[in-house]
């Protein structure tokens, strides 16, 4: 993967993760303590942040820095994995809620 491909992957992943968390660019830039303009340039693959800024962005998104570079995060493979995880989480929550209702409501 060349330098531009790395910038593109990083930018797409940040945008995908930001959107999944319901954050605007303004929200994320505030949480990560960076300018909206710089964040926009990162998301478009124009700029590449320094390591400390990568860490701030990852922390603001609730992920590890390496997750920002996963090639399949925004692809079908990544979506499929997330769909399976979401389904498993929903099943687990439903079972837990059922147990709580049984315990307290009979």
CA-CA distances (angstroms) from residue 8 to 4, 45, 78, 92? 6, 5, 16, 35
Q: What string of DSSP letters covers 40-51? A: HHHHTTS----H
How much is the average pLDDT of 15-21? Answer: 91
Q: Over the stretch 38-52, which tens digit does the pLDDT of each residue have?
A: 999 999 999 999 988
Hey, what CATH topology would domain 1-70 get? 434 Repressor (Amino-terminal Domain) (1.10.260)
Lowest mean pLDDT among 10-14, 82-86, 98-102: 82-86
Q: Alpha helix locations (H) across the chain?
A: 3-20, 25-32, 36-43, 51-61, 76-105
Domain boundaries, the chain: 1-70, 75-106
pTM value is 0.68
Tokens of 83: 């769909």
pLDDT, tens digit (0-9, with 9 covering 90-100), for 23-80: 999 999 999 999 999 999 999 999 999 988 999 999 999 998 888 888 766 555 555 6
């Amino acid at each position: 993967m060349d330098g531009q491909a790395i910038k593109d992957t990083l930018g797409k992943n940040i945008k995908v993760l930001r959107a999944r968390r319901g954050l605007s660019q303004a929200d994320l830039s505030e949480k990560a303590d960076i300018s909206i303009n710089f964040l926009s340039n990162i998301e478009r693959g124009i700029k590449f942040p320094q390591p400390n800024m990568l860490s701030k962005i990852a922390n603001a998104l609730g992920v590890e820095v390496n997750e920002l570079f996963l090639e399949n995060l925004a692809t079908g493979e990544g979506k499929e994995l997330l769909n399976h995880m979401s389904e498993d989480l929903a099943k687990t929550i439903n079972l837990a809620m059922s147990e709580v209702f049984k315990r307290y409501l009979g």
